[in-house]
Structure 1
Amino acid sequence: MTPEMRDRLRPFHDEAIARGIPAGDVERWLATARPCVTLTPDGDGPVVGHFGGPLLLPADTPDPAHPYVASLDLAALPADATDLPLPPDGRLLLFAFPETADDYKTMGSVVYVPAGSAVVERDRHAWNSLDFEDEEEMFEAFPQGPLRATSHVSLPHHQAVELPGRPGSVPLPGHPRSEELVAVWKSLRDDIAPEGPLQIGGYADEEAIYTDPVAIAVTRAVKAVEAGRWDEPVSDDVSDWLLLADWQAGMDVAGWESATVHWVIQREDLSARRFDRAFASVFWNP
């Protein structure tokens, strides 16, 4: 953790100690802090991307199977704003259908367009080849406009893990006071690192959270492989995966008010720029 991150988290440290959480537990929790970038349509930060807009892809890139959400200019992201090994330039395009799948499959995708690539404008509605009206209404409610970046710090929002072969859950390993520490973070997050509709890196969040959404996404990816709906290799070890991006969708359309999309990717795939290997999991509370 950098000195700047520690300074920003000083109110969290002080509040946790004031609530009687032992200093050792607080320090171990602080050691999990990760940098992240929050993207919002307002604020003072630089414009680093857009919700919606024209869909620009290389001519040989297939039409994505999911609706177009946003594009990011990686060169415009603040330096060292995340701990993800992202390319230094080029554009990252995010696609998602913000609804939980009835079976195990990815609900979105990521396309990386290297800097200088020749692109052509594509049909933003190609994913809806059957012209479903309700789904088109949902897509039309996707946010539009520029995204401004603010560098933030992220702590876990989840407090427990499920153990294979055992019912229920237990506190995060090594953090017996995780429930109390998460409560402190939730009480102070708006002052320390206000959330935005889109986040790059950091920890995953959603409307109702208890265990790690990334772990849930990994389970779905593994089962998607077993069902023949996702290509191997896929690790079942959550530590091999990273949160690439979170989108708090919440469109003002009946049935999609509280959807959250989590794009996750294996560390080795991210390092190799295999963004086609990103997997999207959705929390949806219709």
Structure 2
Amino acid sequence: MTSGMASEMQDRLRLFRDEAIARGVPADDVERWTNLARPCATLTQGEGEGGGEGEGGGGPVVGRFGGPLLLPADTPDPEHPFVASIDLAALPAAATDLPLPPDGHLLLFAFPETADDHETMGSAVYVPVGTAVVERDSHAWNPHDFDDYEAMFEEFPQGPLRATAEVSLPYHHAVEISGKPGSGPLPGHPRSEELVAAWDHTRGAIVPEGPLQIGGYADEEVVYTDPVARAVFRVLRAVEAGRWDGPVSDDVADWVLLADWHAGMDVQGWEGSSVHWVIQRTDLAARRFDRTFTEVFWNP
């Protein structure tokens, strides 16, 4: 991240800092927390600048929810429903700190329900620019034609996605200690719970809410510990079960949030469902999108 980007993010967090200090959080604690800020791209639906169809907002069109499923002929049919396609070249410059390819399309797939610890509930496919593609059956993930699954898929959003470059702070404030979820504040941040509360109170005035996010921090309906950390735990369980190939790091710092989808904003009957696509930074830099693991939080 350049110094200019960091300075811009800090400027945008002025309202948050004021709120945290007003809540009695020492300035040094606030500064350490704002140093955790990451850039992200918030994607919203809309047809035109400044709004339009759906919940639209400004920013360039960078992809779409749904639409025809276009994949290289030698790519296997994905095992999960098609969610969205992102034109990486269209993302705002430096919108994230992820080592994403500069162009090509990123396709996201997910089934927005929880599953066994070792099971991924989605995938990501990268299609390099200039690759020949063919339209595929977007229902191939449901070979038995289960009606309730098809009804869910019919609820998936459709339409253009516009992106704006935003700033992200942690939504989680606790870590697991001795196997007890949420039993301690984030290391080095003794006022983390108060800082998250201040962010929750001010973020609506700082960043727009969108159903899809690229990079940044993971969020969900009820969040105490880091959703990325929970996903890493599940990847490790998948390796133990022989369902995922190594090498896999057990250090959460080696993993990043590729994308977040708040499916509950769009899919009736799945309110409260959030999908997190995570990947090791080394795999992302190597364009090994096949090693993306998908974790789902759902509070039915």
For normalisation by structure 1, the TM-score amounts to 0.97
Residue 283 (structure 1) aligned with residue 297 (structure 2)? yes
Among 150, 163, 166, the residue aligned to 1:136 = 150
User: Judging changes above 3 Å, is the alpha-carbon distance between structure 1 residues 181 and 223 closer, same or farther for their aligned structure 2 residues?
Assistant: same
Is the partner of 2:32 in helix, strand or coil? helix
Instruction: Name the structure 1 match of 2:52.
Output: none
Among 152, 158, 161, the residue aligned to 2:175 = 161
Q: Which stretch of structure 1 is more off in the superposition, 160-169 or 116-125?
A: 160-169
Among 36, 41, 51, the residue aligned to 2:40 = 36
Residue 96 (structure 1) aligned with residue 101 (structure 2)? no
Instruction: Name the structure 1 match of 2:229.
Output: 215
Q: CA–CA distance in 2 between the matches of 1:51 and 1:164?
A: 41
Among 68, 80, 93, the residue aligned to 1:66 = 80
User: Judging changes above 3 Å, is the alpha-carbon distance between structure 1 residues 168 and 204 closer, same or farther for their aligned structure 2 residues?
Assistant: closer
Across the two proteins, how many residue pairs are aligned to each other?
A: 285
Q: CA–CA distance in 2 between the matches of 1:71 and 1:167?
A: 35
**Contact 2:120–2:295 (CA under 8 A) maintained in structure 1:** yes
Q: CA–CA distance in 1 between the matches of 2:89 and 2:208?
A: 23
Q: Which structure 2 segments of 5+ residues have no match?
A: 46-55
**Contact 2:232–2:252 (CA under 8 A) maintained in structure 1:** yes
Q: CA–CA distance in 1 between the matches of 2:101 and 2:216?
A: 17
Query: Any residues of structure 2 matched to 1:90-129 within 5 Å, and which?
Result: 90-129=104-143
Q: Deviations over 1:140-189 (max 9, x none)?
A: 10000000001110000000000245675200000000000000000001
Residue 253 (structure 1) aligned with residue 257 (structure 2)? no
Q: Kindly, what percent of the aligned residue pairs are identical?
A: 75
Residue 18 (structure 1) aligned with residue 33 (structure 2)? no
Which residue identity is paired with 1:282? V
Q: CA–CA distance in 2 between the matches of 1:129 and 1:77?
A: 34
Instruction: Name the structure 2 match of 1:238.
Output: 252
The runs of 4+ residues in structure 1 deviating greater than 4 Å are 164-168
**Contact 2:175–2:181 (CA under 8 A) maintained in structure 1:** no
How far the C-alpha of 1:252 sits from its partner, in A, is: 4.0
Q: CA–CA distance in 2 between the matches of 1:215 and 1:66?
A: 23
**Contact 2:182–2:224 (CA under 8 A) maintained in structure 1:** no
**Contact 2:119–2:243 (CA under 8 A) maintained in structure 1:** yes
Query: Any residues of structure 2 matched to 1:157-196 within 5 Å, and which?
Result: 157-165=171-179, 169-196=183-210
Instruction: Name the structure 1 match of 2:280.
Output: 266
Q: CA–CA distance in 1 between the matches of 2:273 and 2:148?
A: 16
User: Judging changes above 3 Å, is the alpha-carbon distance between structure 1 residues 46 and 214 closer, same or farther for their aligned structure 2 residues?
Assistant: same
Q: CA–CA distance in 1 between the matches of 2:242 and 2:151?
A: 31
Among 87, 94, 100, the residue aligned to 1:80 = 94
Q: Deviations over 1:109-146 (max 9, x none)?
A: 00000000000000000000011110110011000000
**Contact 2:211–2:262 (CA under 8 A) maintained in structure 1:** yes
Instruction: Name the structure 2 match of 1:45.
Output: 59
Q: Deviations over 1:184-209 (max 9, x none)?
A: 00000100012210000000000001
Q: CA–CA distance in 1 between the matches of 2:9 and 2:72?
A: 38
User: Judging changes above 3 Å, is the alpha-carbon distance between structure 1 residues 252 and 270 closer, same or farther for their aligned structure 2 residues?
Assistant: closer
User: Judging changes above 3 Å, is the alpha-carbon distance between structure 1 residues 78 and 167 closer, same or farther for their aligned structure 2 residues?
Assistant: closer
Which residue identity is paired with 1:38? T
Instruction: Name the structure 1 match of 2:213.
Output: 199
Which residue identity is paired with 1:154? S
Q: Which stretch of structure 1 is more off in the superposition, 222-231 or 177-186?
A: 222-231
User: Judging changes above 3 Å, is the alpha-carbon distance between structure 1 residues 184 and 99 closer, same or farther for their aligned structure 2 residues?
Assistant: same
Which residue identity is paired with 1:25? D
User: Judging changes above 3 Å, is the alpha-carbon distance between structure 1 residues 75 and 179 closer, same or farther for their aligned structure 2 residues?
Assistant: same
Q: CA–CA distance in 1 between the matches of 2:236 and 2:130?
A: 35
User: Judging changes above 3 Å, is the alpha-carbon distance between structure 1 residues 172 and 14 closer, same or farther for their aligned structure 2 residues?
Assistant: same
Q: Which structure 1 segments of 5+ residues have no match?
A: none
